[in-house]
Structure 1
């Protein structure tokens, strides 16, 4: 494990490399980012948040880090293996064939977080999209490890419902058995990126090598792992920590671009997200955000304000405010 070093996001951010077990492609690492602005406050934070990004993504949502910091929580973000800061030239971007593989870097990251906040510090994990699925499955396998779980548009079911999963699953599994890294047809038209990028009417600038358009190719073995995760969620999880699931109020998925996409989720079916969310555990709050994009933290400013207000309200209810 490396020491903290300057991060690409600027002076207020630090990053360290987490060495992981090699796989069939060789050396593997994850990257832990910490928001660490200068402060005269000597008191160690008693609360911390670990953020996990989604598919074909990496951590660059600085507003999220600043929000948690302003609420007195230490903020960390994890670039999973083969994504973002962790991606190496010889690797297949984003590829794993079992979502439980990520247990290694999640637990390594949480070890660092817990050393920083102390044995009695409260720790929450926040996941977006595929990262939300990964985080929920991890929390289910590790009862009692977290004090809260926040899911931002988590990918909890295959688009088109479980019927599509049951129909497509066997074919994907068969391909994955013999050609696990075979790329599937890329169906990303770039509309989501169009809603985000400052070059096309959005607000954000990010690294196109780490968050390309179209997205990284989806591989058969990876999709099989995601489908298996969806099936586990459909059977019901038993996450004991309080859960907050946030999603847009509507979905707009179309083969043709529409300006209406700038105020909706164009990636996931948000009705399925809401339905599956209540199967994650006994203490689940579902909040729908009008005008929200797929990543609610990257939505237009009025929508972000509502998102953060709902986050504050929920955290206050569970003693985090």
Structure 2
């Protein structure tokens, strides 16, 4: 038995340094909803070399993803913070039989689990500062949340946030009416899959990467894309394009370049094969008044899943920024 487990928490499958807490969210047409909060229980740094001592970090994953990055948790604890990660409804630990993976029709719906997570963390009532850390769709979700909830977050760290559609703003404007029409007819219909599995090839230890994870929760070619969900994403992109007013300092970590092809190319193992990073960098400048952008040569879409030297550079950039932006 793990005697370090907080009351009400269960041992997580990631090992004795991790605990999990189910967060009930009511129900929708597909049944009972819940999210899952994961907590790192390992040692945290303290003293002058721990710029985030006294802070809590809440991590939110991206599309077709869940929290499995134990190295990230340990690195954040090395900055002095308590680390928490949230598996959103219908993702990872929170996905139930019969549910449509990853499906939501309004990104503001995630306010429910973010609020529940913060209450479980007791951040708001303990005087601890809050750092939000989001990857890809999680970065979009947290950016919109911070904009709607001024004064709640003390810092926002974005790991390749999905702030704009891959075909740019013009492509988004052209696609939005078609997606809207499809969402009205059948919001859960399956759209054509344009994920060729190249990003998974760069990440998974089964192929050219170094990471092991549950492929039922993170399938090689992603979850099916559905009109109701895509409408919510495009609405989020439009909101970012119109500019947000996040009142916390923001760090955005991105690869230095993107690579797109309908066939595997070796460059995909050292670049972002999911997002147009130049456009994401521009969109990041629209999030708030204090935005730092770090471009990392050789980084993958998830910079913290990049080859060891690259993710080492990413953690170094994060540490420099944390020191330079005291909470």
TM-score norm. by structure 2 comes to 0.94
Q: Provide the rounded CA distance (Å) in 2 between the counterparts of 1:63 and 1:37.
A: 11
Q: Provide the rounded CA distance (Å) in 2 between the counterparts of 1:97 and 1:121.
A: 32
8 Å contact from structure 1 (residues 249, 290) kept in 2: yes
Q: Provide the rounded CA distance (Å) in 2 between the counterparts of 1:312 and 1:38.
A: 18
Q: Provide the rounded CA distance (Å) in 1 between the counterparts of 2:269 and 2:289.
A: 34
Who is 2:267 aligned against?
260
8 Å contact from structure 1 (residues 30, 86) kept in 2: yes
**Pairs aligned (count):** 315
Deviations 1:183-221 (A, max 9, x none): 100111010000011111211000001101111101100
What is the Cα-based RMSD across aligned positions, in Å?
1.5
SS at match of 2:122: helix
Q: Provide the rounded CA distance (Å) in 1 between the counterparts of 2:18 and 2:40.
A: 5
The reply on whether 1:22 has 2:27 as its aligned counterpart is yes
Q: Provide the rounded CA distance (Å) in 1 between the counterparts of 2:326 and 2:236.
A: 31
8 Å contact from structure 1 (residues 165, 227) kept in 2: yes
Q: Provide the rounded CA distance (Å) in 1 between the counterparts of 2:119 and 2:285.
A: 29
The alpha carbon displacement at 1:3 in A equals 1.8
Who is 1:95 aligned against?
103
- 1:102-251 matched pairs, under 5 angstroms: 102-115=110-123, 118-251=125-258
The reply on whether 1:9 has 2:17 as its aligned counterpart is no
The alpha carbon displacement at 1:38 in A equals 6.3
Pick aligned residue for 2:82 from 74, 85, 100: 74
Displaced runs of 4+ in structure 1, greater than 3 A?
none
Pick aligned residue for 1:52 from 26, 40, 60: 60
The alpha carbon displacement at 1:118 in A equals 5.0
User: Where do 5+ consecutive residues of structure 2 fail to align?
Assistant: 1-6, 47-52
- 1:273-288 matched pairs, under 5 angstroms: 273-288=280-295
Q: Provide the rounded CA distance (Å) in 2 between the counterparts of 1:209 and 1:201.
A: 19
8 Å contact from structure 2 (residues 42, 74) kept in 1: no
8 Å contact from structure 1 (residues 46, 118) kept in 2: no
The alpha carbon displacement at 1:119 in A equals 2.6
Go from structure 1 to structure 2 and tell me whether the alpha carbon gap of 1:236 and 1:38 turns closer, same or farther (over 3 Å shift): closer
Comparing 2-11 with 225-234, greater Cα deviation is found at 2-11
User: Where do 5+ consecutive residues of structure 1 fail to align?
Assistant: none
TM-score norm. by structure 1 comes to 0.96
Q: Provide the rounded CA distance (Å) in 2 between the counterparts of 1:17 and 1:227.
A: 29
Who is 1:318 aligned against?
325
The alpha carbon displacement at 1:8 in A equals 1.2
